[in-house]
């Protein structure tokens, strides 16, 4: 039995008024097929060629002075490797803003964009987010470019005709047709618990990443980003990032943001299963059960509490934490959202402020120097902003490893480890770590929390 494998691809979204759609009325209209739509939309879909420099795998002996001396300095670090990445993108504005997938261009050192009329542009990533797998590029010296209108993806319906345009396998721009197969795909359906996707059976293959998913009016409804496959090719289950989220990325990029700012809910939620619904007296499993709230959460400030069920955000039904995050991200930081919550038999609508994750108390991010036994170790005090950035549990406090560095990594530390104590001394701030590692003696014991489990690292210096 084959195992379903998730292959990443990119995609784009759009929001525009939906024109009237109808079935072909004559043989002439049937013979045209999608040709007029493709002719209008395809110039706004580009090919992207990116160079990514990857560091070769390091051997732990390379940095050991004993082996360097023993082998007379010939024990060199591996050379970096240059990897070429092929993908697609969609032009969103006449002055050269282009959307693609983060996995295509997010770590690239050189990006070249080629249009359908063979013009080439150098490009820079102006805004990218690995978690959302979206990157906004700006083409250098571009003007008067063709671009796609963004459609309001909340109005997309299952069964609509859809076209996928991209550059699969590097063969050149290719168009495939299908329908919208599903909406609000999250979790196990996509292999990405944090994603929120439109599903299509239009053929998507490697190289389609960042390409356009359009409707019959030529408006952008999504950016092709992933497929479920047993063979590595299209099996008719592809996923696209909705246009409404792309629109928010474009807005922030045009405002000059260098990183994507998403509203912070400060909550942990659980998908409503049939068993949970029955225990709460619900006939239909609907909504997200709040399982934890940070004391500074805007939801807590609005009166929600653990055990409440969130059923809608701004009138749109939500059934997973990823769906809640999507709805709030589309609304953007600085405004408010109306959250519908169920508590027992009581339904209520509450207004929730859309805020950035608070960066207090101060993170005090610190990189240890040569006066300590772990130079290069970078640690930070845990606050809501650090929790959101590093995916820590809401109740976590203390100090977290941001970068283990050479010596910390050799000692067994990893990014995301929470340091509780060093040689029995309790750790509460980055300064405590620096003090404890300045002159720890001949033995060192690090008590940490990793993935919710307590781990003790012991070694002799």
Torsion sign across C-alpha atoms 300, 263, 107, 192: positive
| Active site (annotated) includes residue 297 | no
Indicate the SS3 state at residue 353.
strand
Alpha carbon of residue 379 to chain centroid: 24
Closest CA to 225 of 187, 261, 199, 253: 199
Cβ atoms within 10 Å of 265's Cβ, excluding its own:
29
The catalytic position among 100, 209, 262, 380 is: 209
Q: Round to whole Å and give the CA distance between 212 and 90.
A: 6
Question: What is the token pair recorded at 283?
Answer: 């006939």
Contact 179, 160 (CB under 8 A): yes
| Active site (annotated) includes residue 103 | yes
Q: Round to whole Å and give the CA distance between 14 and 152.
A: 6
| Alpha-carbon distances of 33 from 45, 157, 173, 246, 310, rounded to whole Å | 20, 21, 18, 28, 44
Element (H, E) at 387: helix 384-390
Cβ atoms within 10 Å of 51's Cβ, excluding its own:
13
Helices (H), 221-359: 243-254, 274-279, 298-301, 321-331
Cβ atoms within 10 Å of 58's Cβ, excluding its own:
12
The catalytic position among 103, 176, 308, 380 is: 103
DSSP 121-146: EEEEEEEEETTTTEEEEEETT--S--
| Alpha-carbon distances of 76 from 61, 70, 111, rounded to whole Å | 10, 13, 30
Beta carbons within 8 Å of 161's beta carbon, 6+ residues apart: 21, 177, 178, 179, 215, 216
The catalytic position among 129, 133, 219, 417 is: 133
Indicate the SS3 state at residue 35.
helix
Q: Are strands 211-214 and 161-166 parallel, antiparallel or unpaired?
A: antiparallel
Closest CA to 90 of 44, 133, 39: 44
Report whether the peptide linkage leading into residue 154 is cis, meaning its omega lies within 30 degrees of zero. Answer: no
Q: Round to whole Å and give the CA distance between 312 and 345.
A: 16
Among all residues, which ones are annotated catalytic? 103, 133, 209
């Amino acid at each position: 039995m084959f195992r379903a494998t998730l292959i990443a691809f990119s995609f784009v979204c759009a929001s525009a008024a939906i024109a009237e759609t109808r079935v072909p009325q004559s043989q002439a209209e049937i013979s045209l097929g999608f040709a007029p739509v493709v002719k209008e939309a395809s110039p706004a879909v580009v090919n992207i060629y990116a160079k990514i420099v990857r560091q070769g795998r390091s051997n732990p002996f390379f940095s050991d002075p004993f082996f360097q001396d023993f082998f007379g300095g010939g024990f060199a670090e591996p050379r970096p490797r240059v990897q070429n990445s092929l993908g697609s993108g969609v032009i969103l504005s006449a002055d050269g803003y282009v959307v693609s997938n983060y996995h295509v261009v997010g770590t690239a050192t050189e990006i070249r964009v080629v249009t359908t009329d063979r013009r080439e542009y150098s490009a820079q990533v102006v805004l990218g987010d690995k978690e959302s797998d979206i990157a906004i590029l700006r083409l250098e010296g571009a003007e008067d470019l063709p671009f796609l209108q963004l459609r309001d993806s909340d109005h997309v319906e299952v069964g609509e005709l859809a076209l996928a345009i991209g550059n699969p396998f590097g063969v050149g721009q290719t168009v495939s047709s299908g329908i919208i197969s599903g909406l609000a795909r999250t979790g196990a359906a996509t292999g990405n618990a944090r994603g929120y996707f439109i599903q299509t059976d239009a053929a998507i293959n490697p190289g389609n990443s960042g390409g356009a998913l359009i409707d019959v009016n030529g408006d952008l409804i999504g950016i092709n980003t992933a497929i479920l496959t047993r063979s590595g090719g299209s099996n008719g289950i592809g996923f696209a990032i909705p246009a409404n989220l792309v629109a928010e990325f474009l807005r922030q990029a045009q405002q000059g943001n260098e990183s994507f700012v998403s509203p912070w809910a400060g909550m942990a939620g659980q998908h409503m299963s049939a068993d949970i619904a029955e225990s709460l007296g619900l006939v239909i499993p609907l909504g997200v059960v709040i399982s934890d709230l940070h004391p500074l959460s805007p939801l807590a400030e609005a009166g929600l509490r653990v055990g409440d069920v969130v059923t809608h955000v701004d009138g749109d039904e939500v059934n997973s934490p990823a769906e809640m995050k999507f709805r709030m991200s589309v609304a953007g930081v600085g405004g408010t959202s109306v959250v519908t919550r169920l508590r027992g038999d009581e339904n209520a609508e509450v207004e929730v402020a859309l805020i950035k994750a608070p960066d207090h108390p101060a993170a005090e991010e610190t990189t240890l120097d040569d006066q300590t036994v772990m130079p290069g170790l970078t640690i930070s005090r845990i606050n809501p902003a650090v929790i959101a950035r590093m995916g820590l549990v809401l109740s976590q406090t203390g100090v977290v490893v941001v970068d283990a560095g050479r010596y910390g990594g050799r000692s067994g530390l990893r990014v995301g480890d929470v340091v509780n104590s060093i040689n029995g001394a309790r750790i509460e701030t980055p300064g405590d770590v620096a003090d404890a590692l300045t002159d720890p003696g001949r033995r060192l014991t690090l008590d940490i929390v990793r993935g919710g489990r307590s781990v003790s690292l012991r070694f002799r210096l």
